[in-house]
């Protein structure tokens, strides 16, 4: 049994929710009763250690038709040849790198086999670091489910809508939205438009949270109430299903005789969520000087060093530029964070040429970067009247750990990216 009605949502990032698809499925007053209603099985999924501080503890109780432990041994999965995070044989030079969008995948490529790893740092077993992948699919496989034991997944559609069927409910994602799936949560991907492309960030470290706001105060950047959490939904299918699990940086597969998405009710604060990027309240200068890009942070995964992120998810949305006597694009800079950038739509204001939607760039720590020559010249000579940057959405996955480049992707980098900073005129001192 699976309903085809439009998904419904709860609201509030990090909230504690209780939801049931069948009345009476959710126990009252306890988590694991002796005999759960309808013969369901109680199961806790924990995204943090049991003894984490209350405000950081993430867990949910699921009430499902079969225990998730009911499966045969996993074996290595032979598909998804591009979904690997092994570095190349040579050390990565500290060069700026940029890539065009990936070519179209072969016909019959589903979401899992259409995943291509691009950038990564650390290792999943270290419980630190982040990887950036790309996905491209042109066929859906309702007989397959996927789960990452290595990290939580941030999905950023770039072309085409995808429907996510998860253990805890259903979410619709289209370009302009993001979806966040906790580590260990199983899901399927459907393609209502027949094909889809986008980005996938995999966070090995502390779960993403909303950043502290400091002097900004209590309100905005991204508002907690704008994050939507699916209501309980379940799939009652006694049909063969392949479950593919990412574990230790590799893919493993097992086969079930039923759907693993059979959670009838759940409660807790570990749950998938979606967010519309247009709801982000961009903050910028109203006097002079372009502010640090940290003011565009949507989600952050902290490291062990206060103020230094294991991973930040940052966006550059439509916004007004009004600063007086100000170089308005991002200034030239070098910093200890390593920056992976992608473009969802439009053009990026610091580099209007050579960076296409679906593309990717990498500026590792202390690599000098900033606007290209043409952007610098236009910004230096522009009449500084109020101007709106519109029709664009770029993003950045930033990390305190330098990125490595997956071996299969390194050779696809644009050969002339350094030329973006060639031919700047020398300053004249007299």
369 given a catalytic annotation = no
C-alpha to C-alpha distance for 322 and 382, rounded to whole angstroms? 12
Tell me, letter by letter, the H, E, C secondary structure of 358-390. Answer: CCEEEECCCCCECCCHHHHHHHHHCCCCCEEEC
The one catalytic residue in 71, 258, 290, 333 is 290
For the annotated catalytic residues, the residue numbers are: 290
């Amino acid at each position: 049994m699976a309903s085809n009605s439009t998904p419904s949502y709860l609201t509030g990032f990090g909230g504690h929710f209780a939801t049931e698809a069948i009345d009476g499925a959710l126990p009252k007053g306890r988590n694991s009763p002796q005999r759960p209603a309808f013969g369901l099985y109680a199961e806790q999924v924990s995204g943090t250690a049991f003894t984490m501080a209350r405000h950081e503890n993430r867990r949910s109780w699921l009430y499902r038709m079969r225990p998730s432990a009911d499966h045969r041994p996993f074996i290595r999965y032979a598909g998804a040849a591009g979904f690997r995070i092994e570095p190349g044989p040579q050390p990565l030079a500290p060069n700026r790198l940029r890539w065009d969008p990936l070519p179209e995948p072969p016909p019959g490529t589903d979401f899992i086999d259409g995943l291509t790893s691009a950038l990564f740092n650390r290792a999943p077993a270290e419980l630190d670091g982040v990887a950036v992948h790309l996905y491209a699919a042109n066929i859906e496989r309702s007989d397959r489910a996927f789960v990452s034991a290595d990290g939580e997944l941030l999905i950023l559609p770039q072309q085409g809508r995808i429907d996510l069927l998860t253990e805890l409910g259903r979410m619709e994602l289209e370009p302009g939205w993001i979806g966040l799936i906790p580590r260990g949560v199983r899901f399927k991907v459907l393609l209502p438009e027949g094909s889809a492309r986008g980005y996938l960030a995999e966070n090995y470290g502390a779960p993403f949270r909303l950043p502290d706001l400091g002097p900004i105060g209590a309100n905005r950047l991204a508002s907690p109430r704008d994050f939507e959490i699916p209501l309980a939904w379940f799939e009652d299918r006694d049909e063969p299903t392949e479950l593919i699990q990412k574990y230790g940086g590799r893919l493993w597969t097992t086969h079930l005789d039923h759907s693993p998405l059979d959670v009838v009710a759940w409660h807790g604060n570990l749950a998938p969520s979606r967010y519309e990027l247009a709801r982000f309240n961009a903050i910028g200068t109203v006097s002079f000087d372009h502010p640090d890009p940290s003011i565009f942070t949507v989600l952050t995964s902290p490291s062990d060093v206060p103020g230094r992120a294991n991973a930040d998810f940052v966006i550059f949305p439509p916004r007004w530029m009004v600063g007086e006597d100000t170089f308005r694009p991002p200034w030239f800079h070098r910093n200890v964070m390593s920056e992976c950038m992608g473009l969802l739509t439009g053009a990026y204001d610091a580099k209007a040429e050579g960076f296409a939607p679906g593309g990717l760039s990498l500026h590792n720590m202390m690599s000098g970067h900033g606007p290209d020559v043409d952007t610098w010249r236009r910004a230096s000579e522009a009449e500084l009247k109020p101007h709106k940057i519109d029709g664009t959405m770029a993003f950045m996955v930033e990390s305190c750990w330098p990125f490595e480049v997956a071996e299969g992707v390194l050779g696809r980098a644009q050969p002339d990216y350094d030329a973006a900073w060639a031919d700047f005129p020398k300053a004249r001192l007299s």
